[in-house]
């Protein structure tokens, strides 16, 4: 590599010295592939970004980066190999990130059972409900809570369902959807309370769903054993969703 008109200064020599040494060695062996040349050029650029001193050199002397590129294209040099650790291709693949860092800087818990919003539905009992005045106000009264739940406003939904609970203590819909809303709010104990009440009122339209979300609440409460047992029972039921419960139970067994 030819020096510039004013010669190499000390900092430039420090940057280029490893390249010069490796270039001489590579000339005695063989040239690298185009893929390796491109990769090594990226490593030069990465070195410039990671080292403030060298970044300044490359930034104020862009021709120096070009000169280093010429070394790569001419012979293919393993830049700073052995001095900076293994090459990019030799590094182990990073593990997938499973936790989310909260705004407080703490990692959030990682759960294996996904929390998904269920479809809104009503039981036959809700459809045939009659008040003392022979009317059915339940469906109309459920609408504000359902609208909030559907919109993902779980704070309002929880509040609406809490208001409906004393008025409709036999409504599985009130306690089931309140329990799910509380799961989305991160209130696993509160969700368990609501879902337990819903389980006592459940008919065939809600029984499976309640047990599934009870398992989700169990895991989020730290009781993985209970969650796994609950999923195991769902796995044995004659239901088209049984395979889902079987897979979830296996996932908990493997991951916890």
Q: pLDDT, tens digit, for every residue of 52-76? A: 444 444 444 444 444 544 444 444 4
Neighbours of 245 (CB within 10 A): 22
**Per-residue pLDDT tens for 192-247?**
999 999 999 998 889 999 999 999 999 999 999 999 999 999 999 988 999 999 99
Confidence of residue 49 (pLDDT cuts 50, 70, 90): low
Q: At residue 20, does pLDDT exceed 90?
A: no
Q: What is the mean pLDDT of the chain?
A: 73
**Domain extents for the chain?**
10-90, 124-255
Q: What percent of the chain has pLDDT over 70?
A: 55
Neighbours of 117 (CB within 10 A): 14
Name beta bridge partners: 107: 101
- Kindly indicate whether the domain formed by 124-255 is annotated with CATH number 3.90.1490.10: no
**Does the reported pTM lie above 0.75?**
no
13 vs 238: which has the higher pLDDT: 238
Residues in the chain: 256
CB neighbour list of residue 118: distance below 8 Å, 6 or more residues apart:
177, 180, 209, 213
Tell me the C-alpha distance between 2 and 52, whole Å.
26
178 to 56, 147, 200, 213, 218: CA distances (angstroms): 59, 13, 15, 11, 16
CB neighbour list of residue 147: distance below 8 Å, 6 or more residues apart:
none
**Dihedral sign (CA 9, 12, 70, 74):** positive
* Per-residue model confidence (pLDDT) at position 18: 56
């Amino acid at each position: 590599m030819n020096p510039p008109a004013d010669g190499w200064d000390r900092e430039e020599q420090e940057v280029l010295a490893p390249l010069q040494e490796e270039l001489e060695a590579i000339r005695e062996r063989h040239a690298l592939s185009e893929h390796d040349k491109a990769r090594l050029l990226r490593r030069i650029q990465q070195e410039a970004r990671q080292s403030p001193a060298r970044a300044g050199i490359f930034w104020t002397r862009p021709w120096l980066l070009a000169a280093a590129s010429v070394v790569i294209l001419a012979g293919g040099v393993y830049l700073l190999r052995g001095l900076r650790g293994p090459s990019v291709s030799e590094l182990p693949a990073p593990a997938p990130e499973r936790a989310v860092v909260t705004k407080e800087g703490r990692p959030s818990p990682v759960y294996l059972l996904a929390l998904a919003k269920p479809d809104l539905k009503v039981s036959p009992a809700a459809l045939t409900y009659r008040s003392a005045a022979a009317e059915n106000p339940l469906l109309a009264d459920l609408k504000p809570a359902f609208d909030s739940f559907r919109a993902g406003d779980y704070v309002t939904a929880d509040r609406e369902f809490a208001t409906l609970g004393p008025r409709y203590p036999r409504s599985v819909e009130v306690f089931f959807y309140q329990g799910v809303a509380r799961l989305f709010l991160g209130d696993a104990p509160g969700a368990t309370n609501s879902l337990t009440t819903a389980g006592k009122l459940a008919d065939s339209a809600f029984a499976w769903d309640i047990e599934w979300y009870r398992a989700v609440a169990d895991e989020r409460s730290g009781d993985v054993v209970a969650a796994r047992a609950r999923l195991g029972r769902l796995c044995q039921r004659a239901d088209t969703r049984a395979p889902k419960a079987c897979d979830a139970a296996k996932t908990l067994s493997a991951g916890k």
